[in-house]
Amino acid sequence: MLNKVFNVDAIREDFPILSQTVHGKKFVFLDSGASAQKPRAVIDAMVQCMETQYANVHRGLHYMSERTSDKYEAVRDKVAGLLNAASRDEIVFTRNGTESINLVARTFGTTSLKPGDAVAVSQMEHHANIVPWQMLRDAHGTELRIIKITDSGELDWESLEQVFADGKVKLLAITHMSNVLGTYTPVERLAAFAHERGAKILLDGCQAIVHRKVDVKAIDADFYVFSGHKLYGPTGIGVLYAKREILDAMPPFLGGGDMIASVSYEKSTWAKPPHRFEAGTPAIIETIGLGAAIDYVEAIGFDAIAAHERDLTEHALAVLARIEGLRVLGAAQDRGGVISFVMKHAHAHDIATLLDRQGIAVRAGQHCAEPLMGRLGVTSTARATFGVYTTREEIDALEAGLLRIQKMFA
C-alpha cells in the first residue's frame, strides 16, 4: 500500500461492512465521527491473536504469554510513533478517550492542581472534557472556567485571555477538533499561550487524530488523548499521552495487578509509568487491533487522508449550501470532515430517521455537547461525518435525501 495513489474504491473494499444494505438500500455511512468502521486488517489481527497467539501479558514465563506481551507492547511503540512522542513510556493505554481524561483529572488533577486553581475548557467541548473537570471542582475545590467561541465556531481569543488574566488557570483542557463544528483549534499557539502563563495543556484528540498527522512534540502538548474506535480500531482501547516528567509525578489511577512494584499488607509501591496507570489485565486483543489500525492509516498516509477529506468537506459544504432552509453550523477557517446542520422545518431526529430509511446513517441530537447546543441556539442538529472510505457519491446521496425531506416538510 505504500505510496499508492489514494484510491477510495480500493479502500472501500478493505471494509467488509460497507457492502451491506440497510432497509434494502445501499449503506451510506456518514457517522464515522461517532465510531468508524473497521478494515479487514484490524478484524484479522484480532482474530489471529485469539486463534494463534493469545495469553495474558506481563505475567507468564511461557511462550504464549511472552509472544503476546511482545505484540501488545509493540503497539505502544506504534502509538508513540503515530504521535511522535519522545518515548514509548509516555503512552498509557486506557479504555477510551473519556477514561484518559478522567485519569488525568483524578491523578494530576488532585495532586498538581490545588484548590483555588482553575481548569479552562472551551465552549465547544464534548461532555467527556467537561464533566471530569466538574467532578474535580466539586471534590477538590478547583474552578472550572469556560472560554467562549465566536459565531463562526472558532475560539474567541479575547475570551481566552480574560479567562487566563488572573493567573489562576493551571490547565487548559481543549479539543483539537470539535465533534460538532469540525473546527480545528490552533493547538501550537494554544500550547505556547498556556505555557507562557504557567499552565499545562490537555488536548482532546478523539476527532483530530483520524484526520491529520498529530505531532505532540511539535505541538508541545502536555497531555493528548484519543480513542481507538474512531481511528478504525476496535472499541475498548484508548490512549493517554503525557510528558514523561508529568507521568512520573502522577499517583496511580486504579489499584491492582500490573501497576505495582511491590505489595505488602502495610504498603505497596508503584510501578513506573506507563504501567503505574494500567491496573489489571488490559484490553489485549483490542490493543493489538489498534496496532493494526495504526498500520492501516499510516500505509494510506495522513497527507492523502487529509487531502481526501478536504475534498469531501468542500464538496459537502457546496452541496449543502444549495439546499434552501438548511444551515450549516460553524464556518471556521480551519475545519474538517464533521458537518452539523439544521433545517428550517424538519427536526434533526426526523431528518435522521428519514435518511436512515434511504440507507443513509447520520447522527442527530446534541452530540454529547449540550452546552454547545445552547451557545448555538439550537436544541439538536443532524451531523454528517466523513472517513477514509467516504465518497463524493455518498454526499450526493445525502443531498438527494435531504431534498426529499425538505419537500415533505415544506
Which residues are catalytic, by number? 368
Q: Which of 1, 85, 15, 4 is nearest to 44 (CA)?
A: 15
* Per-residue contact string for residues 327-346; x = within reach of other proteins by CB under 8 A: ------------------xx
Q: Which one among 49, 101, 119, 348 touches other proteins, defined by CB under 8 A?
A: 348
Q: Give the residue among 343, 357, 348, 360 at the shortest CA–CA distance from 395.
A: 360
Tell me the sheet residues that pair with 155: 149
Which of 173, 192, 163, 166 lies closest to 108, judged by CA? Answer: 173
Write down the number of H helices and E strands in the chain.
16, 17
Q: What's the closest the beta carbon of residue 180 comes to other proteins, in angstroms?
A: 13
Judged by CB under 8 A, the residue of 32, 68, 287, 380 near other proteins is 380
Contact with other proteins (CB under 8 A): which of 66, 89, 350, 396? Answer: 350
Report the alpha-carbon distance of residue 103 to residue 95 in Å, rounded: 11
Among 175, 179, 358, 385, binds other proteins (CB under 8 A): 358
Site for other proteins (CB under 8 A): which residue of 44, 188, 370, 393? 370
Query: According to the binding rule CB under 8 A, does residue 366 interact with other proteins?
Result: yes
Given 172, 373, 388, 398, the residue binding other proteins (CB under 8 A): 373
60 binds other proteins (CB under 8 A): no
Strand positions, DSSP E, 96-213:
118-122, 143-147, 169-175, 200-204
Amino acid, res. 134: Q
Start-to-end CA distance of the chain, whole Å, equals: 48
Name the one range near other proteins by CB under 8 A: 172-180, 270-278, 292-300, 353-361: 353-361
| Residue 284 in the binding site for other proteins (CB under 8 A) | no
Q: For residue 404, state whether it binds other proteins (rule: CB under 8 A).
A: yes
* Near other proteins by CB under 8 A: residue from 165, 353, 392, 403: 353
- Tell me if 256 sits within 8 A of 279, measured CB to CB: yes
**Cis amide prior to 274 (ω within 30 degrees):** yes
Nearest approach in angstroms of CB 371 to other proteins is 11
- Least Cβ distance, residue 185 to other proteins (angstroms): 25
Q: Is 372 in the site for other proteins (CB under 8 A)?
A: no
How far apart CA 293 and CA 399 sit, in angstroms, is: 31
The yes or no reply on residue 371 touching other proteins (CB under 8 A) is: no
Residue 375 backbone phi and psi in degrees, to 5 = -65, -35
Contact flag: residue 364 with other proteins (CB under 8 A): yes
Assigned C-alpha cell, 345: 422545518
Which residues contact other proteins (rule: CB under 8 A)? 345-350, 353-354, 356-358, 364-366, 370, 373, 379-380, 404, 408-409
